Structures are given as structure tokens and as C-alpha cells.
A and B are shown apart, each in its own frame.
Chain A
């Protein structure tokens, strides 16, 4: 499949190479290494047969669960316009824009992506993407360690547990002390005192539990002790949230799935990374810059390349090579499609719908753990174990949320959830919890 050669073509090639079979290509490989009898696989499928196979396997996933789960990945409306532009074959089937003259399309979209990310976070310099939100936090921590040459990481407990696992994998615990700070009533303690040997203050905005606070004073306190302040922000809420830049953060990272990428079972998505220009030389990954060509025409190129692994090798700022460009393109196009009013609606309606849902659940006798400080996402106490709630709600067509503890469920709202879906959810939720 996909090999174009006819027998005539093969004869042409064999003649040029003075061989008579494919096997002769490998006469220099030790005989004992050559596969004898071929690999143990079924024969090839036609597209029709493959359609049946993959549609059958897909049907083993529950279909169309109404999504009330978040935790970093959100069921936001993704317009077909954004999908079809992102999947243009010129974007999909090219690679890293090493040759600027034939890659102005990718380069300019990425330059626009960087600019859009900077504008909505109020930062100065963004890179052209990292793998996902979780790995972006770890990359940001590495920048802070390199900048401050200090060993302590002060990080809020209010992160998705998976993100914390990624941080623990990627930041060497033998060399660095990762200190998780318990939230106080779902907020980072305002009276927390930083030390002069702390490298970074890392906090999620909003916290994983859904509560949010103005972090300006904490950032000021961290800066006073020389820390790098790192904000992990929910990008789909940036139409309504205070910007990380306005609160003084040095580095902003995000799980960018909700802007431009379907839920995708968590991957591929995209990590956003933005910072201030004085940290430019420590930034991981690719950066696109604007310049002029030999005829003084506006041109885009990859820049600050001396940070990257293919040039600096073991001295590089990160080992990242292949990134998540296509998802970054999706982010840029989705942001442009939403505009200031659209991204406002996405954030505002999510908070309003969460407020309605919290109020209705409370009226039905359920306890909301963080009612007043939460925005689009909140914690609720369940009356039976959350694993049972998730199973039973799933059978009724809902992804009820994410299990936070044995009897606490994290529920997320987006602008997509309708009043009818919320009302149905609550009816089922009551039945499940009382049943």
C-alpha cells in the first residue's frame, strides 16, 4: 500500500542498482538479524473493511455522554470553520519550518499564535507550543530553576493530580525540593511567606478545585524574595478572568485544548508558554520572529535557535523538537474566530451556568464545597462513592464530573451546556445519590 512501483518501475530501479530482488538490498546486514518468514500480522484491509473495524471499536466507547467534566480539558464549542482551516493539508502535512521561503504560512500563523497568546495573557513573548498543559508547567519550573539557581519549588496543591505526577517525573526530586502547599478553604493562603532560596511560586488560576483569587499580592510577595512566579491559567476563561500579566506573573502556561482542539481523549492537545522578554534565552521550544528578506519584504523565521537541542545538544534549554504546531494553529484560528465578544461569552456563560447549577443543587440538598469562590467549576459532596456516581450517571448519558475524593465530585460547566441538560443532570444526580 502507498508504494507506487509497478513491475516496470521495479525493473528500472533494479537495473540501476544492478540487483534482482529486494533481499539483495540487505546483504550487508548480519544474517541472524534478518526476519525469517515475515511478521506475524493479518493481511491488509481495504478502506471499506477498515471502516467497519474502526467504527465497531469506536462503538465500544460510550457515545455522546453530556460532558460535565473539566480539570483542564473542556467541552467548548469548536466551530467547523476552525476545524476545516486547521486541517488544510498545507498545514497538516508540512513539518517544522526549517526553510522559511516555502513555509511562510506556518511561520506566520505561529507568529500570530504567539502574539494572540501574549495579548490575552498580557505577556511579551510566547513560544510556538509545548506538548500539553502538564508538561508546560514542568518546563516553566525548569526555566525558574535555571534563572534563579535555587532549589525549592513552592507549588500549590490545587493542580490536577495528573499534572503533579508529570511535574514529579520531569523535575528531579533528588536535586530539587518540590514543596506542595495546601490550599486554605480552596484558596492559596494569602499569608504564605516565601524564602530567599525558593526558585518558583507555581499556582493554578483558577485552582483545580475551581476556586479563584486575585493573586497580585502573592506574586508581589514572591517577587520580593526573588522568585519566578508561574501561572497555569485556564485559557478559555481569559475573556473574563484578570490576566496573569496584570497580576505580575513572569511565566504563564496553559493547557490549550479548549482553544481549538477537540477533547481527543486528552491528546494531541497543546501547551501554551508565555513569558517576559528578559527570560527569552531560557525559553524551551521554538520561537518565531518577524524580519525582512533580501528585498526588504516582511518575512517570518524561527529565531533564537541557539537555545534548541539540534544546535546546543546537551546544553539546550529543553530537549523538545517535535511540538504541537497543528494544535497551536487551531488555537490561533479559534481565538480569531471568537473575537473579544465570543471569548467573553464562553467565559461569562460558563460562570452563569455554574452559578445556576450550584444554586439548584443546593436547593436539592447537596453541599457545594466552594460555592462563593468558584467560577465555572466546583466541588460537590456526593452521598454515595463518586465511582458509583460516575458509573450510574454514565448509564444515564452523563459524564458527571471527575472524582476528587471518595465523596467529592468536581463538576465543570461550559457555554455549551444548556439549562435543559443541567436540569436533567440534577434530576438524575438526585436519583443516583438517593438510590
Chain B
């Protein structure tokens, strides 16, 4: 192993459980110091105030720093090793963007500051809108949605409002593939639509015949990611968009898999009317342990006036905020996740034309290479050329040796890799979904394939206890029933549980 493998897991190894910050607390210790009050003190007698102090931990600053640093050591990350988590695009996040996002004029600006004093921030959003619309083949964008799921809901609310304005209120069906991300049906439901599921065909793509049978005068639209969640390009996309458009429906592009096609082809050219992008995936902003993200929504010209506002417009000598005429309204308290958008623009500027023209190509190249290597040890779900990710299946090993996708994922952790996404898409049995991204080296990809080979051998050996995996990490497999059953979700709960059991 030369990279991506064992070395990356070393910081995670060893040590006993880290106490909670509350367990480290001792009365009278403190990390903070504030200046003495510099205005005349008056008696505060107000019915909304309390007398007692808040029950927060009392720790020294060194204890605080050690505690959170030790916790950081117990966490895997893109900066430590290979994170082939399918559908999440865990590529390298350039450190340079951290610098730009910390420039005080960007990071310390109050969101209610009048636009005459925030021209720089408005310019950032304007330039980024130009980049995003060129990459996706759309015309206008709003940066209100703070994450992909919020972008989806935004798109669906735009469809709803647009259809209402066209007096087509009866159009209530949103068609979603059975392979779609869970956020798709959840967002459609939140927007008040009926969710209609379209089947996937043998090749792993939208079943055109099934689609035709589902489309009718009630069709409001279709949500699709292309490449789809099986990592396959929907080759019949132009047929699909014709079917939906002829029925008076709109096409929504789930941008979760945009990384595969940047510089290759564009959702706008495929017929999509609305597109959200996950800036934290495609444009390399840090995932932050689960967020923040940013899910800007771009639309074709005829939908501009429905965008959530305010959006930035460029005037002859300045930038200003503009609320579109039929806007669906705000999706966020202020301007969305501005600093995430800023980081995405930094990334695009560093890539430039040559980097963006080839971004999707290299993402696909790495996935195609890894799939070729992995397929020698595990069968792939589809016999089709993959795009930026691919799905393998352990269903045969499950039959022969009771080895599940879950077990392969856990064994990979021991070898210093993050697990691929498991059990997704739902339509593939015992699925392992790998997304290597374009920032991994050939050696790392080889290491992962080699590790899969070793794991298949190791787990198939006689006498192996699958539940022993992972073996070399700070904790083993968690008992997932206790917290759900006893709701041990607060540091006061667990002791209680021990007393009662």
C-alpha cells in the first residue's frame, strides 16, 4: 500500500473512550474572559430574565483544545484518505478557498447590510451565476437554497407556481425513478405533489415504455439525475424530455451527479428546465461532517420570474437585489450559504477553462478505471459503461457465504478506506456504490481494488466471524437499537439507562 490505505487510519487507532466535555467540567474552571463592563451599570429588573447561570461545562482552554482535537483524531476525512462514498463526490477541497472565505470583508459582513456596502459580495454571486449557467446550459440562477434538498424543493415549487399561473392546477403528478435519491420523493411530497414512480429497465436506465404509460394530462414534471444513481448516462434523455414536454410537464435535473458531465454535456441542452447544483459536491467545497452545502437553482429564461429571491442583477454601474415577479418566495433567511458559494467560485477560477472543460472527463476516467479493476473481484450491477460512479453487488457472496454489502464496507474501514455507499440505489441488491472522483491517483485506485480482492478472500475463509469487522478501530460495530429504543440522545440519558437495566 502506497497511498489511501493503512496510513490514513493511523490517527483513528488507539486510546480509550474520550469523555464528554461535561465529564471534563469542574466548578470554577474557565476558558473565556470578557472585558469589564465599560458603561454605567443599571439595575436590570425584567420579567424575561432569570437569576441562575446557564448549565454549561466549565473547562480550561487547554482541556477544551485537547478534547476537540482528540475527537478530530477519531474521525476519517477526505484530508486523511480515500473516501469513495458514491453520490457524495468526496473530492479534494482546495485549501486556498479557506483563505478567500476568511477574508474579513466577506466573512464578517452582516447579512442586512445595504447593498451599496456589499457590492463585492453581490459581484461574487453575479460571476458565479455566469459560471453555473454556462456549465449547466441554463439562463439564470438563485443562490437561496442552502443545500441540494432545498434546491429540489425550490425547483418543485417553481413548477407548481408556473403551472398555477398557466391555469394547469390539475397537474399534480411528479414522476420520479425508482432509483432516485430519497430526497426526490420527499421534496415532491413537501411541495404538495403526488409521487409517481417510474421503473428502471434491464440496462439500468429509465424504462421508456413504463414512462409513456405513466405520463398523462396530470403530469407536472419529471425529476431525474443524469447520469442516474446507477452511474449510467440516460442515453434516451432526449426521448424522455420530449415525452414530458409533450405532456406539458417540466423537467427537473437533480444535480447530485453533475460532476460526471461538467465540460462534457449540459442539462440545459438535454431539455431540462430547472437544475440544482450541489456546490459542496461538484465544486469542491468542504462537506463539513454533513454540511453546510449550497444548492443553487438555475432555470431557463421563461422561469426566471419564479426564482426564489432576491437575486442579484447587474445594472450599468452597480449590482442590486431584485425579487422576481412571481417568485416562490424565500428559501433561506438571507442569501443562502454565501461563503460556500464563494468557495465554489474560487475553485472554478483555479480550474479555469482547461480545468472545467475536462473536469467530468477525468471524474469518469477514474471511475471507469476503478470499475474495471473492481469488476475482477466483484460483479457490477450493470453491464454498461459507467460515468463518475458505479455500482457493484455482493448478492452472490451473500448467497454463498452470507457476506453482505455492509460487511464489505466494514472490512474496508479496517484497511484505511471509507466505505462506498451501501444499499443504494435501492433497486440493486446488496449494492456498493463507488465514486472515486478525479483527484485520486492511480496507485490509490489500485490499492482500493486490491483491498476489495483481499477482503473477498478474507471474509470467504472458513471460520470467519463477520460481525468482528472492523477490528482495528476505536470502536467496533455499534448496537443501533439502544438509542432508538431508549432515546439516549442527551448526555444525561445513558446513566439513567444503566441504572434501570
A-B contact count (CB 8 A): 657
| Cβ contact within 8 Å between B289 and A94 | yes
Which 10 A-B pairs rank lowest in CB-CB distance, beginning with the nearest? A289-B483, A44-B352, A266-B334, A266-B111, A105-B75, A326-B288, A169-B329, A268-B292, A342-B32, A134-B333
Say which one of A121-129, A193-201, A362-370 lies at the interface with B. A121-129
Known pairs A69-B112, A131-B150; A322 contacts B361 (CB<8 A): no
Interfacial chain A residues near B73, Cβ < 8 Å: 90, 105
Does any Cβ of B come within 8 Å of A89's Cβ? yes
When chains A and B are docked, how far (Å) is the Cα of A314 from the Cα of B103?
41
- Give me 19 A-to-B residue pairs in the complex whose CB atoms sit less than 8 angstroms apart, sorted by A's number: A16-B372, A26-B364, A39-B134, A65-B117, A67-B110, A95-B287, A95-B290, A116-B56, A116-B57, A126-B490, A132-B146, A213-B48, A214-B47, A263-B107, A309-B149, A312-B186, A327-B292, A336-B64, A342-B31
A293 in contact with B114 (CB, 8 Å): no
Instruction: Give the bracket for the number of chain A residues in contact with chain B.
Output: 35 or more
Whether the Cβ atoms of A131 and B474 lie closer than 8 Å is: no
- The answer for the CA separation of A31 and B364 in the assembled complex, in Å, is 17
A25 neighbours in B (Cβ, 8 Å): 361, 364-365, 368, 385
Known contacts A58-B105, A265-B111; 13 further A-B pairs (Cβ under 8 A): A1-B355, A30-B235, A90-B80, A105-B73, A166-B331, A290-B483, A290-B493, A309-B182, A312-B186, A319-B152, A321-B149, A339-B29, A339-B30
Nearest B residue to A214 via CB reads B47
Q: Which residues of B contact A345 (CB under 8 A)?
A: 32, 34
Return the contact of A103 from the options B44, B76, B109, B470 (Cβ within 8 A): B76
State which of B82-90, B212-220, B454-462 sits at the interface with chain A: B82-90
Contact among B11, B369, B439 with A17 in the assembled complex (CB-CB below 8 Å): B369
CB pair A165–B64 under 8 Å, yes or no, is no
Q: Which residues of A contact B235 (CB under 8 A)?
A: 28-30
In the complex the two chains form, is A34's CB within 8 Å of B264's CB? yes
Bitwise interface map of A from 401 to 434 toward B, beta carbon under 8 Å scored 1, else 0: 0100000000000010011001000000000000
A57 near B473: Cβ-Cβ < 8 Å: no
Q: Could you say which of B15-23, B242-250, B297-305, B389-397 contacts chain A? A: B15-23
Which among B92, B337, B369 has the greatest number of chain A C-beta atoms within 10 A? Answer: B337
Q: Number of contacting residues on B, CB 8 A?
A: 197
Q: How far is the CB of B18 from chain A (nearest CB, A)?
A: 6
**A313 touches which one: B186, B353, B484 (CB < 8 A)?**
B186
Cα distance A419–B73 when bound, in Å? Answer: 43
A191 within 8 A of B: no
A174 / chain B contacts, CB cutoff of 8 Å: 192
Inter-subunit contact B34/A349 (CB<8 Å): yes
Cα separation A336 to B114 with both chains bound (whole Å): 34
Query: In the bound complex, what is the Cα–Cα distance between A325 and B147 (angstroms)?
Result: 12
Partner of A375, one of B46, B71, B152, B287: B46
Please tell me if A2 contacts chain B, counting CB pairs below 8 Å: yes
Q: Does B30 contact A341, Cβ atoms closer than 8 Å?
A: yes
Residues of B contacting A310 in the complex (Cβ-Cβ under 8 angstroms): 181-183, 424
- What 1/0 mask marks residues of chain B from 132 to 147 whose CB sits below 8 Å from any chain A CB? 0011000000000011
Q: Is the CB of A63 within 8 A of B105?
A: yes
